[in-house]
Amino acid sequence: MTDKRFHLSWFMNFTPDEWREPFGNGGTPWDGEFYIEMAKMLDRACFDYIMIEDKLMVPEIYGGSRDLALKAAMIAPKHDPAPLAVAMGMATQHLGVIATMSTMAYPPFMLTRLSSTIDSLTKGRFGWNVVTSAEDLAAQNFNMDALPPREQRYAMADEYMEVVHKLFESWEPDAVVLDRENGVYADPSKVHTIDHKGEFFNVRGPLNTVPSPQGKPVFVQAGASPRGRDFAATHADSIVSVANGVEGMKAFRDDIRARAEKLGRNPDDIKVLFCITPTLGETEKEAREKYDRVMMSDNFVTDILVSMSGITEIDFAQFDLDKPLPEKLVTNGESGTLDKFQQWGSGKTLRELAADSGGGMVSSLELIGTPDQVAERMGEAMAEVGGDGFLVTTPTLRVSRRYVVEVTDGLVPALQKRGLMRTEYKHKLLRDNLREF
């Protein structure tokens, strides 16, 4: 019998929660307790992983100022995901924890060492979301005036990954012998320098951490452009994406699998998860009213445009909210995100594009209804796509405890009842759980 199950993960920010809403947590989650509780809930619900996004700057693109970004708490404040990943991983039993870390910000040795350490602390459940950063404001925090062009960033990232793999492999899997009788902790003949001398990086090695439970963390990526898809198909264990409906989801997954096969990889080793923002209610009418209420809120459009300006480095405050964008926009920032957002040629106003970005463009398909209705739609969509699963998030990436409960205690049981989601974990390591089906 064909396994109908698919993977379910969560995408979040280490930012204030839904601090303006009645069921928010007050906007002060900095001790991590709110997100640790959330991780425990996802662990009980048998999610594969929780992924923590990151940016390395305070945005000041929208309106030419950082004022609105800080007032709305969009993109900033944002705390470092790596310590939170450790805290969440050590508080859970099975859930994978994914931290976003930029190849621009970390020297390869430091990132490899940090990843190895966290994988050991979480007993083999750590993953790295590989990003190159796409904001000049971030580059200016790291001794640069501006980011290199996109193609050069990918060339640097390719070599960066080469170095990372060499460092992880600088200790052979059985290098630690723990021979107490002869006083030998590690066999020196099984620890090697890498002596990498490349175009962008010179790294001697070896790594000074022992091999972690997974050997290497799970690699997650979100490449959307053709170059980005090649990078993801080369390196990723899991790819996260936003697609336009079932046809777009299937086309993207088929394309990634074809690229992986051409590169000599087993496509089944790469799990493609599509972003969704389900809106749940006790009735379909209630869910629809909730959705419309969010989309029409006074703060929503500004929140989305502040975020989109920070990500794409285009000031959307310069355009009329109630008119279509006057031209097709280009950027050296996140071009894939920009292309999805602007929907050039659709005739939609900027206000409508913002609503789409929150309610539709962050979600690969519309999911509004009761838990049973949404679960049924998810199952039908995944059957057409062929796999591999979904990445739950919210329109502005802010989250409330209420929303988490709606998903873990409402949607998840509806999925499990249909045989669409695991009811228990079979493996200890994150990579093994991802490859289970």
The per-residue pLDDT for range 146-167, each reduced to its tens digit, is: 999 988 999 999 999 999 999 9
Is residue 1 domain-resident? no
Average pLDDT, rounded, for the chain: 93
The predicted pLDDT at position 300 comes to 83
> 322 vs 304, 319, 347, 348, CA distance in Å?
15, 9, 11, 9
Question: CB–CB of 229/259 below 8 Å?
Answer: yes
Give the model confidence (pLDDT) of 235-275 as tens digits. 999 999 998 899 999 999 999 999 999 999 999 999 999 99
Give the model confidence (pLDDT) of 66-98 as tens digits. 998 999 898 899 999 999 999 999 999 999 999
Question: CB–CB of 82/98 below 8 Å?
Answer: no
For 249, the domain range is: 7-434
Is residue 275 domain-resident? yes
Task: Give the pLDDT band of residue 23 (cuts 50, 70, 90).
Answer: confident
Is residue 124 domain-resident? yes
| Alpha helical stretches, state H, 47-80 | 67-72
Evaluate if residue 340 carries a pLDDT over 90: no
Is residue 2 domain-resident? no
Task: Give the pLDDT band of residue 21 (cuts 50, 70, 90).
Answer: confident
The predicted pLDDT at position 362 comes to 65
Residues of the chain above pLDDT 70, percent: 98
The predicted pLDDT at position 1 comes to 56
Give the model confidence (pLDDT) of 196-206 as tens digits. 999 999 999 99
Evaluate if residue 359 carries a pLDDT over 60: no
> 85 vs 46, 47, 82, 218, 398, CA distance in Å?
17, 15, 5, 13, 17
Burial 329-341 (b: 16+ CB within 10 A, else e): beebbbbbbbbbb
From 284, 287, 273, 244, select the one nearest 403 (Cα to Cα): 287
The predicted pLDDT at position 248 comes to 94
Is residue 178 domain-resident? yes
| Alpha helical stretches, state H, 326-429 | 335-342, 350-356, 371-385, 401-405, 412-417
Looking up tokens 């060499």 gives: 166
Is residue 119 domain-resident? yes
Task: Give the pLDDT band of residue 364 (cuts 50, 70, 90).
Answer: confident
**What tokens appear for 232 in the block?**
């993801």
Q: Give the Cβ contact number of residue 226 at 10 Å.
A: 10
Q: What is the pTM of this model?
A: 0.93
Residues ≥6 apart with Cβ < 8 Å to 73? 15, 16, 19, 27
Quote the CA–CA distance of 69 and 63 in Å, as a whole number: 10
Question: In total, how many domains does the chain have?
Answer: 1
From 179, 185, 189, 193, select the one nearest 210 (Cα to Cα): 185
Helix (H, G, I), strand (E, B) or coil at 97: strand
Question: CB–CB of 71/31 below 8 Å?
Answer: no
- Which own/partner pairs from 432-437 qualify as long-range (CB within 8 Å, at least 24 positions apart)? 433/48, 433/94, 433/96, 434/7, 434/48, 434/49, 434/96, 434/218, 434/237, 434/238, 434/271, 435/268, 435/269, 435/271, 437/3, 437/5, 437/6, 437/7
Is residue 50 domain-resident? yes
Q: What CATH number does residue 275 fall under?
A: 3.20.20.30
**What tokens appear for 46 in the block?**
């048998």
From 350, 264, 267, 345, select the one nearest 314 (Cα to Cα): 350
The predicted pLDDT at position 20 comes to 85
Residues of the chain above pLDDT 90, percent: 76
**What tokens appear for 433 in the block?**
């759980």
From 185, 167, 164, select the one nearest 176 (Cα to Cα): 185
